């Protein structure tokens, strides 16, 4: 069911895409360029953004604006958003894709990885929105889309820290929707299952229902076009996880052990 105004046409829409240098964000940049969006592409690695920009020019004749930023740093985010608002008088879509994933379980718990994941995956979007919410409120329109994960639905093996960052992001997006939807601003949470990217290349287990970043970008685009609050995919895996979380814990833990722990 569509809870947001549909973003039916991306042509000439101003999109700030954070986390564009690799994986799902890179594929989203290509999808959005193909749809004719005006793009600002951001992440830390400027060389990768330059390569992406060259690709977008070659493939779609689209020139994007490169604004590097580190979402773990408040100063970096503040400087970047000022440059974004200089370039775009209004923002039609903020697509926050950046995230880090380190498989952690009880035996490998450490504060360095924990802080890095919390600072990027959860505090990153909060830092950006701390600056951009006033802009969206001033506009009285626009869309905010945050990439979470199906790992946020319930506790999964090797997701001791990653899972809670995405669970909190989902909760954050729900509250954000309640606050901003009455003001005409769309809020979207995107929950992918396993996608073949540099982030998941480190996994030493068989990833169920693994999809390509291009397929993920198409699913994200379709969800935004339909005005969905939550876009989750691939459905055979995401519905299975949604079903798991409503089960009593003895059955939940048994099914996770049987079907997810390899």
Ligand X SMILES: NC(=O)c1ccc[n+]([C@@H]2O[C@H](COP(=O)([O-])OP(=O)(O)OC[C@H]3O[C@@H](n4cnc5c(N)ncnc54)[C@H](OP(=O)(O)O)[C@@H]3O)[C@@H](O)[C@H]2O)c1
* Cis? peptide before 220, omega within 30° of 0: no
Q: Judged by CB under 6 A, which stretch of 13-21, 82-90, 132-140, 244-252 contacts ligand X?
A: 13-21
Q: What sections of the chain are H helices per DSSP?
A: 23-34, 46-60, 74-87, 111-117, 123-139, 162-180, 213-225, 235-244, 249-259
Tell me whether residue 37 or residue 169 sits nearer to ligand X (CB atom): 169
The helix/strand/coil state of 70 is: coil
Instruction: Name the minimum Å distance from CB 149 to ligand X.
Output: 4
Residues 165-204 that bind ligand X (CB under 6 A): 192, 194-195, 197-200
Please state, in angstroms and as integers, the Cα–Cα distance from residue 21 to each residue in 77, 101, 117, 140, following that order.
17, 16, 18, 30
Tell me whether residue 76 or residue 139 sits nearer to ligand X (CB atom): 76
DSSP state of 110: -
Neighbouring C-alpha atoms within 13 Å toward the C-beta of 208: 17
Tell me whether residue 150 or residue 185 sits nearer to ligand X (CB atom): 150
Rg (CA), the chain: 18
Please state, in angstroms and as integers, the Cα–Cα distance from residue 175 to each residue in 13, 180, 211, 227, 242, following that order.
26, 9, 30, 17, 20
- In the stretch 94-113, what mask flags binding to ligand X with x, by CB under 6 A? ---xxxxx------------
Tell me whether residue 5 or residue 33 sits nearer to ligand X (CB atom): 33
Tell me whether residue 33 or residue 72 sits nearer to ligand X (CB atom): 72
**Number of residues that make up the chain:** 262
Instruction: Name the minimum Å distance from CB 123 to ligand X.
Output: 10
Instruction: Name the minimum Å distance from CB 48 to ligand X.
Output: 6
Q: Which two tokens stand for residue 48?
A: 């990768």
The sheet carrying 65-66 orders its strands as 65-66, 38-42, 14-18, 93-96, 143-147, 186-192, 230-233
The helix/strand/coil state of 124 is: helix
Tell me whether residue 7 or residue 123 sits nearer to ligand X (CB atom): 123
Q: Judged by CB under 6 A, which stretch of 2-10, 93-101, 225-233, 250-258 contacts ligand X?
A: 93-101
Tell me whether residue 38 or residue 165 sits nearer to ligand X (CB atom): 165
Contact residue for ligand X among 7, 15, 17, 24 (CB under 6 A) = 24
Residues 219-258 that bind ligand X (CB under 6 A): none
Residues 26-85 that bind ligand X (CB under 6 A): 43-45, 48, 69-72
Residues in contact with ligand X by CB under 6 A are 19-25, 43-45, 48, 69-72, 97-101, 120, 147, 149, 192, 194-195, 197-200
């Amino acid at each position: 069911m569509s809870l947001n105004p549909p973003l039916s046409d991306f042509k000439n829409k101003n999109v700030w895409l954070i986390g564009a240098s690799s994986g799902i964000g890179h594929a989203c940049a290509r999808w959005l360029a193909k749809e004719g969006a005006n793009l600002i592409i951001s992440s830390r690695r400027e060389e990768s953004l330059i390569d992406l920009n060259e690709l977008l020019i070659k493939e779609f004749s689209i020139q994007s604006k490169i604004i590097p930023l580190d979402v773990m740093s408040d100063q970096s985010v503040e400087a970047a958003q000022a440059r974004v608002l200089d370039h775009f008088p209004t923002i039609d879509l903020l697509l926050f894709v950046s995230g880090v994933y380190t498989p952690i379980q009880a035996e490998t718990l450490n504060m360095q990885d924990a802080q890095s994941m919390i600072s990027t995956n959860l505090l990153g979007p909060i830092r950006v929105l701390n600056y951009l919410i006033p802009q969206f409120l001033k506009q009285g329109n626009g869309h905010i889309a945050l990439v979470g994960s199906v790992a946020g639905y319930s506790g999964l093996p090797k997701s001791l820290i990653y899972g809670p960052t995405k669970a909190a992001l989902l909760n954050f997006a729900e509250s954000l929707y309640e606050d901003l939807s009455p003001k005409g601003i769309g809020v979207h949470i995107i929950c992918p299952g396993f996608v073949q990217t540099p982030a998941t290349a480190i996994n030493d287990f068989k990833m169920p229902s693994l999809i390509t970043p291009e397929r993920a970008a198409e699913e994200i685009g379709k969800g935004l076009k339909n005005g969905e609050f939550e876009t989750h995919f691939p459905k055979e895996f995401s519905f299975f996880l949604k079903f798991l979380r409503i089960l009593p814990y003895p059955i939940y833990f048994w099914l996770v052990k049987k079907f997810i722990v390899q």
